Amino acid sequence: MTRSNSFQIEVLSPAIGALVRGVNLAEPASDDLIGEIRSALLAHKVIFFEGQDFTPGQQRDFAARFGDLHLHPLYDRNDAHPEIMIIDNHVDNPTDNNFWHTDVTFIETPPMGSILAARTLPPTGGDTMWASMSAAYDALSAPMQRFLEGLEAIHDFAYAFTAQGLAGSQAGRERYEKAVAENPPVTHPVVRCHPETGQRGIFVNSVFTRRIKGLRREESQALMTFLNAHVQKPEFVVRWRWRSGDVAFWDNRNTQHRAVDDFLPHRRIMTRATVLGDRPFFAPTA
Ligand code: SIN
C-alpha cells in the first residue's frame, strides 16, 4: 500500500490497475486532489474507487475536471446530463462491449479517459478487464517495435457500428446515418506516445481499426490478428469484479478494455463519462 497526500493506493498488478481508498467522488474536489488522482491514473492506467454514491450529475462534474466531455453519437444518454452515456444490457439488449477496444478511436482526438460507474449489477458476472498497451508494446521485440512505429492505421466508426439493431425504426436509422456522416474514417499512428508520460503504446484495436495503411489487405489482417491477440495476454491485464458503488477511471490513451458477457438473463446498467483527449502522435527518439 502506498500513500498520496490525500488517499491510499493499493496496486493490483505490476502492469496495470490500482485501488484508491479514501476519496469521496461525490464531493467537490480541490485542484490538489484532482492532480493527485491524475498522477495515480498516469501511474496505474486504471484506478478503482469503491463505495461511491454519486449521481450522474456528480459523475459528469467530476469527469469535467479532466477535460471536455464527449457526447456519444449512438448510445443512450442520461436525459438531464447528455454527457453521461448509459450502458444498459439485458436479454433484449445484450452487451456489445465484450471485445477488446480503446474508446472512441474513430475521432481525431480520442478520449484521454473514461469514468465508469456501476448502477445495477447482476448477482455475479459482468466483470470488466483492462490491458496496458504500453506493457504490450514493451513486450514486443525491438525489430517488431521499429516496424510498427512507422505505420498508421484507419479507424472507422462505420467499421464498428452497423445499422443493425437501429434499423427497426426510422428515428434509429436517421441517428445512425447522421453518426456515420459526422464520423468519417480517421488515421492514427499504430504506436502512440503518451502525451503526459511519453510512454509508447500500441494504438490499434479490434473494434475500430479497419486496416493498417500501406500494407496489402492480407498483410494488414495478419498483423491485426497478431496484435489483437498479443494485447490481451494476462500479463498486461487486470480484471475488476464490480460491486455496488464501484467506479473505474481509465487512461484511454494507453489501455484497452472489454466487458465480460456472462451475466444474462440478468440486467447490468453502467454509466460512463468520456473525457476528450488530444490527437495521437508518434515521436521518434532522436
Ligand atoms: C465500455 O466499454 O466502455 C464499458 C465496459 C463495461 O461495460 O464493462
Q: What confidence tens digit (pLDDT) does each residue in 3-49 have?
A: 567 899 999 999 999 999 999 999 999 999 999 999 999 999 999 99
- Predicted local distance difference test score (pLDDT) of residue 203: 98
84 C-alpha to ligand 1 centroid (Å): 13
Would you state the cell numbers that stand for residue 89, as one nine-digit string? 444490457
Hey, whose CA ends up nearest to atom 1 of ligand 1?
A: 97
Q: Is 111 helix (H, G, I), strand (E, B) or coil?
A: coil
Pocket of ligand 1 (CB under 6 A): 87, 97, 103, 114, 116, 128, 257, 259, 270, 272
Residue 177 forms part of a structural domain: yes
If one counts the domains in the chain, the total is: 1
The pLDDT-based confidence of 175 (bands split at 50, 70, 90) is confident
Instruction: Supply the residues annotated as catalytic.
Output: 101, 103, 257, 272
CATH number of the domain that 146 lies in? 3.60.130.10
Q: How far apart are the first and last CA of the chain?
A: 37
Whether 74 maps to a domain, the answer reads yes
Instruction: Answer yes or no: is pLDDT of 167 > 60.
Output: no
- Asked if residue 150 is part of any domain, the answer here is yes
The predicted-structure confidence for 250-260, as pLDDT tens digits, reads as follows: 999 999 999 99
What pLDDT score does 162 carry?
Answer: 79
| Mean pLDDT score across all residues of the chain | 95
Confidence (pLDDT) at 5: 73
CA pair distance 177, 144, nearest whole angstrom: 39
Q: Which residue segment(s) compose the domain that 105 sits in?
A: 2-276
The answer to whether position 239 is within a domain reads yes
Question: What is the pLDDT, as a whole number, of residue 177?
Answer: 92
pTM over 0.85: yes
What three-state secondary structure class fits 93?
strand
